[in-house]
Amino acid sequence: MIEVLLVRTSLSRLAPGLASRPAAATLLAIAVAAVGLGPAASPAAAATIPAGAGSYSDSRPAGTSGPTTNTGAPVTPKLTTAARDKPVPTNDWWSSLAYQRYGDNPYSTPMYGHPLTYQAKASGLEVGYPTTPAVVGDGRQYEYAHKADLTVGLSGLNSPDTKADAWSDWTVTPYWADGSRTFRATIGHGMPFVYAKGSGGDARITTASTPTVFSDQGNVLGITVAGHHYALFAPTGSDWNVSGTAITAGLGGKDYFSLAVLPSTDALATYKKYAFSFVTGSQVAWQSTGGNVRATYSLTTEAKEGTERGTLQALYRHQWLHTTDALTPYTYVSPRGTMKVRESASFTTSQKNNGVVPALPASSGVDKARLTGYLNEVANASDPFSGAADTYWTGKALGRLAQLVPVADQIGQTATRDKLLGLMKGRLQEWFTAGGASEFSYDKDWKTLTGYPASYGSDTELNDHHFHYSYYVYAAGIIAQYDQAWVADSAWGTMIKHLIRDTANPSRTDSAYPFLRGFDVYAGHSWASGHQGFAAGNNQESSSESINLSAGLVLWGAATGDTNLRDLGSFLLTTESEAITQYWFDADQQVFPASFGHDTVGMVWGSGGAYSTWWTANPEEIHGINVLPVTGGSLHLAREKAAIKRNIAEMERENGGPAQEWRDLLWEFESLADPAAAKAKWDAANGNYGPEQGESKAHTYHWINTLNTVGAPDMTVSGDLPTSAVFSKDGVRTYTAHNHGSTARTVTFSDGKTLSVPARSTATSTGPGGDPGPGPDPEPPTGNTFRLKSGGILTTATTDPAGADTVASADGVNRDGTPYRPTVYEVKKVNGKVASGAATTFRLRVDAGTKVGLAPQVRVSYDLTGDGTFDRAETFRYFATDPVNGWEEYTQASGTQATTGSLGELKNGTVRLEIWNALGNGTSQVQTGTDAAVLKIPYV
């Protein structure tokens, strides 16, 4: 059981990684380039460092602390001499290598690379491959906890500590030295290999139990430990020796060896090909053009033997859903769902750009007089900042005001707009001037900028900088829309750029701040803890506050003409949006284990996820923490409307009724999927509620009534300007865009619509098309026959290319009747009436290769209303494949094994086909994109 669920664990132990609090802090209720960024040099040795019109200090204010151990002792980064001057990307999946949070552990806590897990200790690196989830904490948490299958090191290695020696975008190299021996091991996200280098001893692998050898080729050894298959690779001419749980090999004057976790024993030959192609670095490159965001993930390698420079990479679900690059049949289990393997040193993803707008478009649904009254309540409050003193609560107050500035401007309340802008500028200037009651201080050891007064471990644990500073950057982006002089580098813009460099630095060569401190580019999301000091790895609770930073970058970059920062924001937001969709909300219902009885998690951990928050068990806050703050950057959530409805339904079940504390946030969230339902709840409350502390009645009223008028966001369409969005209601689309530039421009949308937008203005237009809301949906347009399409899609299209998907192994267990790691295909928003006398039919081509005894099996399920609950499930008998290469045909003629529920009219429903291997111990394939990859449903 991981630490976060141990009730007896002290608050001080739990506090690391504490997500920023959107409500008053209480005891834990559940124990669970640098283009345009300014000078890159480290600050000079002075008490106060000028930054445009602002300044920051190079020493902390009296009585405050910087990074410490859990006992309060100061701590500096744990780095080798080679890495000493390199800024450390704290808040990463491996940060415990560099941050010794606990004085009795100079090595690391468990690190979750996926598919492998790791933990450093005196004798080397523990390596595990957790494949069976546990549901713990009264059913509130699922985890694939680290458990060592083996330890890799050198004979006799007994290092007093482990340090970080080198790192790149998603790889790291820990280092051990004991005076006689040195050892390094390069590990990373998506890497099935561990690349080891050592001197002073033989290669040594110590297994957790006596291994079974399935292949012995001298310097290549295949072993099975705890049901997991590994390959060990020593230099050519070496020979592995197995003695109980100790496996050793002399290196013959060389200093390298490697190991890999295999998806199956028959994969050994493929993995052997890349055993000596050592990964030396990782890097992502992104671009945002034409309404799309493309990202290429590349590894650099060095050939230790031969000339092979390729490698194997395991892609997360959020990656393989958006790549057209060829994938192998190999897969891995992970807490993020199935990982798929690519045989290449790079791959590319492409997604529609999730636009960010300063405000929702003007609409007839908003009563200007009523909205003006709500605006005045905020602007004329005796304390618009509600007593906020620290970085987080000040940020929340800034965010609340920032949302109202373009709303006031939209209805012609320019005096209120300017008053709000003045309040924001004044408070930011206080923080951006060293020596006052609030200031920012630079730590030269950790190369970070911390605001004081700090909160939630932002100082002592380096937690949550991206959460806190997101509000400052977003507010500055709104200010820049109206006052270019204020954001100039010579004025206050330089201080904003320091906050950006601290949290989301695009430069890998900046000596003052690390590259993307908290954003894990391969995992697809940020991490909150600065030290990662947990048995469950790192964690992130409020994914939406991370999105707030990305949205702020889009607005700041657009308003200041820094397209590089704008496009960085688009990349971060679009990438994290898919990660949130899959790993926080499980929108496709393919990630959370079947035994985990929740549709969402409040927190994602390296080992899994938890239906919890750091500070309360209140379901409203568990669900709302990944919604706040609601801004023009929140529209991305509308991509999965069925998931929003499931989310709200679960909250109300767990809550025993509708929301009370955070009702405004959850109304706004619901309005992204069902604006009419949200407006009904707003109307029923009639303004008699207390807003969440980052919200206001003015913003909530404007948000809900606007969406009720123009419709929910239509995420099937994107514009070629990142500050654009589309909404749809009753077959009519509303297009909006804000042009921050000094000249007029035309925005082109992916459905062909064009919109002329004057300089420094917002334009809005309507047109036909889009999601017609609760009525009939145009997809599928006609027909009841669907082809299987790679990527988990059922489609009526007949023009997609032919391909094949992998069906996972049954792992030697009888899975007859129960889907096990199924390959899933789905279509949503289906309408139709039951055809009299008809039945579900399918025609699939499957191939087990030369494997014996595989048995593909199909289940077809019908969710009649698209609410996330499947009302009818039909399980068909499995098909006995032959051990001869070539496609075989599997149809419904095999017979129905079991049915549950009844068919009925499909109204915006979902149809799902699952295929899995019921028997055997190997993977197979199923054809896609052909007439022999078809499901026909009994509907007209």
Residue among 502, 545, 650, 914 flagged as catalytic? 545
Rg, Å, the chain Cα set: 28
Would residue 914 show up in a list of annotated catalytic residues for this protein? no
List, in sequence order, every beta strand (DSSP E) within 244-291: 246-249, 256-262, 277-289
Question: What is the SS3 assignment for 493-528?
Answer: HHHHHHHHHHHHCCCCCCCCCCCCCCEECCCCEECC
Q: Torsions phi, psi of 610, nearest 5?
A: -140, 135
- Secondary structure of 655-719 as H, E, C letters: HCCCCCCCHHHHHHHHHCCCHHHHHHHHHHHCCCCCCCCCCCHHHHHHHHHHHHHHCEECCCCCE
Task: Confirm whether 58 is a catalytic residue.
Answer: no
Count of CB atoms within 10 A of residue 33's CB?
Answer: 13
Asked whether 507 and 527 are in contact (CB, 8 A), the reply is no
Cα separations (Å) of 588 from 159, 385, 575, 830? 45, 40, 17, 16
Smallest Cα–Cα separation from 151: which of 165, 167, 162?
Answer: 162
What is the DSSP secondary structure assignment for residue 157, as one 8-state letter? -
10 Å CB burial of residue 6 (0-12, 13-18, 19+) is: middle
Instruction: Give φ, ψ of 379 to 5 degrees.
Output: -65, -30
Angle at 631 between CA 627 and CA 634, to 5 degrees: 55
Q: How far apart are CA 305 and CA 642, in angstroms?
A: 52
Which amino acid is located at 418 in the chain? D
Phi/psi of residue 278, nearest 5 degrees: -75, 130
Q: Comparing C-alpha atoms, which of 573, 611, 613 is closest to residue 470?
A: 573
Phi then psi dihedrals of residue 142, to 5 deg: -115, 145
- Contact between 592 and 66 under an 8 Å Cβ cutoff? The reply is no
Contact 88, 444 (CB under 8 A): no
* Among the listed residues 527, 538, 421, the one whose alpha carbon sits nearest the alpha carbon of residue 480: 421
Q: Characterize the bridge pairing of strands 346-352 and 292-303.
A: antiparallel
Which SS3 state, helix, strand or coil, does residue 863 take? Answer: strand
Tokens 């602390």, located at residue: 65
β-pair partners for 204: 153, 248
CA distances 445 to 87, 204, 509, 512, 527, Å, are 9, 35, 17, 10, 21
Q: How far is CA 932 from the centre of its chain?
A: 35
- Quote the CA–CA distance of 530 and 463 in Å, as a whole number: 5
Vertex 805 angle, CA 800 and 811, to 5°: 165
**Residue 464: active-site member:** yes
Q: Exactly one of 126, 169, 510, 541 is catalytic; which is it?
A: 541
Q: Which DSSP symbol is given to 250?
A: -
Gap between the Cα atoms of 581 and 658, Å rounded: 23
Q: Are 447 and 87 in contact (CB under 8 A)?
A: yes
User: Which member of 92, 390, 464, 586 is catalytic?
Assistant: 464
- How far separated are the first and last CA of the chain, in Å rounded? 51
> How many whole angstroms separate alpha carbon 32 and alpha carbon 137?
8
- Residue 134 and residue 607: Cα distance in Å, rounded? 10
- The residues that are catalytic are 464, 541, 545
